[in-house]
A = this chain, B = another copy of it.
Amino acid sequence: MSGHATNLRVKLPLLCTLLQLATVLLFAFFVQYDSQTSPRLWHEEVQLHSKKPLDHDFYPRYPSFQDVHVMVFLGFGFLMTFLKRYSFGGVAFNFLIAAFALQWSILIQGFFHTFHDGKIHVGIESMINADFCAGSVLISFGALLGKTSPVQLLLMAVLEVTFFGINEYILLSLLQVKDAGGSMTIHTFGAYFGLMVSRVLFRPHLDKSRQREGSTYHSDLFAMIGMLFLWVFWPSFNSAVTAHGDDQQRTVMNTYFSLASSTLSTFAISALVNRGGQLDMVHIQNAALAGGVIVGTSAEMALTPFGALIAGCVAGLVATLGFKFLTPILAAKLKIQDTCGIHNLHGLPGMLGALLGALVAALATPDAYGEGMADIFPLVASGQRSSTQQSLFQLLGLLVSLGMAMVGGILVGAILRMQSLAMPPDALCFEDQIYWEVPEEHHDGFQVVEALSTEEADKATQA
């Protein structure tokens, strides 16, 4: 297949080398250990403030970081193995773009948040935030799964990470919006960015690959590995960068409750919407996670256990109905082909999460928060904003995120349409063989080459 347009032999090494070289150079000039990572600086700090080694911020943050790291690489990765003939691409392109996105994000986020004295200072929180940003890119990847080449995906990652960094800076630093678990900055942004890219890359003849756009019994089980790691570690995701003490504890607990109730409503709706009363693995794999997304903004606030349960119920309900009724409409009417249904898992619950965050912020009273107000709503605690004003800023944050995601997605989609980015033809979507050496058992290489040739003949005819 060496002559085909989907051949990665030159394009992928070239792009990887360029990107990695640029990253290495920028790291060489700009990135250095922060004061908790440098041996000299930390020991100076220890002596100056008579600290003990275990007062290091590494200890309360690292377990959460590791959970998030598992979610990004194992969780998202295996969630995307559900397609019967695209499991290699699902887990491994997830791996590739996450491994690049986190490096690039260290630069972009570092430039916006920890740049001083001409240097980006990196520590444990930089790593968590870089993983968060990678997660957002992976959400977008979900809409494009099986329809894009790794070359396109890496290109998307460079640009999306950059847009993500700008958007996050506007929300968190300029608008002073709270969004610890990223309902707006990660989920809403990643989802609508990806959906817009998919819209621009719309394939009218995708039905040529319809026979591959399904799962097998065991590919669904592989996807459950990813799903369950996301579900189990989501409390760590939402709490990884909140303030220490009660904030982390509360965020964890709210997320725990919300996920539990979204699981029940997902099972309930899944059985209800199927004529035969049978459950659908697609719903379980995705909608049961919506409980984590919907409390992304509000989990660190005083949502109450009761509020978390209600939120989760709604999330599971909306997401499952979305898979059943909305995804087909998106594809048919709006020309948005959303392979993993990210609109249901991240888009809608992300927006609902932003709205819920605005609601809970509006209800914040000094009586409920006490001295803890300063950790969650510092501007309200210091009297610079009322609760209502904070709430309005939260809503503004949602609008900005949506706008940035859509503009960014359309722009990036247009770039990804360029020739020579190794995009698969319509008849060979959801097919590992064009990018992977696949073990013999699955091999029908001849047909693939055949299909590629036919496709190109078609194109020649059309041109």
A residues sitting closer than 8 Å to B (CB atoms) are: 1-2, 7-10, 12-13, 16-17, 19-20, 23-24, 27-28, 31-33, 36-44, 46-47, 53-56, 58-60, 62-63, 66-67, 69-70, 73-74, 77-78, 81, 84, 87-88, 91-92, 95-96, 99-100, 102-103, 106, 122-124, 127, 150, 214-222, 224-225, 228-229, 231-233, 235-236, 243-250, 252-253, 256-257, 259-261, 263-265, 267-269, 271-272, 274-281, 284, 288, 302, 304-306, 309-310, 313, 367-373, 375-376, 434-442
Contacts and interface: CB of A to CB of B under 8 A. Distances in A.
Contact of A370 (B43, B69, B99, B277): B43
Nearest to A40: B370
B12 A277 contact: yes
A19 B261 CA distance: 10
Contacts of A310: 24
A224 B231 CA distance: 20
Closest 5 CB pairs of A and B: A39-B372, A9-B277, A40-B370, A43-B371, A16-B268
A303 to B, nearest CB: 10
A367 B263 CA distance: 51
20 contacts: A8-B279, A12-B268, A20-B265, A31-B305, A33-B253, A33-B304, A38-B246, A39-B250, A39-B372, A43-B372, A56-B246, A73-B232, A87-B221, A95-B228, A99-B259, A100-B260, A123-B253, A127-B256, A216-B439, A219-B439
A101 to B, nearest CB: 9
B217 A441 contact: yes
A44 B246 contact: no
A150 B268 CA distance: 11
B8 A260 contact: no
Given A216-B439, A304-B33, A53 B16 contact: no
Contacts of A372: 38-40, 42-43
Given A74-B225, A92-B279, 17 more contacts: A9-B271, A12-B268, A24-B309, A24-B313, A37-B249, A39-B250, A39-B371, A43-B370, A54-B59, A63-B66, A70-B229, A87-B217, A92-B224, A92-B284, A103-B261, A127-B253, A217-B438
A256 B105 CA distance: 13
Contact of A367 (B40, B95, B275): B40
Contacts of A44: 370-371
B260 A214 contact: no
A66 B99 CA distance: 23
Given A92-B224, A221-B222, A245-B53, A306 B41 contact: no
A56 B268 contact: no
Contact of A60 (B59, B99, B219): B59
* Majority-rule SS of A interface residues: helix
A73 B235 CA distance: 14
- Quick one: copies of this chain in the complex? 3
Nearest to A278: B437
Contact of A99 (B54, B225, B264): B264
A224 B20 contact: no
Contacts of A232: 66, 69-70, 73-74
B370 A66 contact: no
B100 A12 contact: no
Contacts of A257: 27, 103
A289 to B, nearest CB: 11
Contacts of A263: 95-96, 99-100
A311 B310 CA distance: 46
A275 B4 CA distance: 12
B278 A13 contact: no
Contact of A88 (B47, B58, B220, B309): B220
Contacts of A27: 257, 305-306, 309
Nearest to A218: B218
Nearest to A225: B225
A253 B437 contact: no
A53 B32 CA distance: 28
A442 B47 CA distance: 65
A62 B1 contact: no
A257 B126 CA distance: 12
A124 B368 contact: no
A463 B64 CA distance: 59
Contacts of A264: 16, 19-20, 96, 99-100
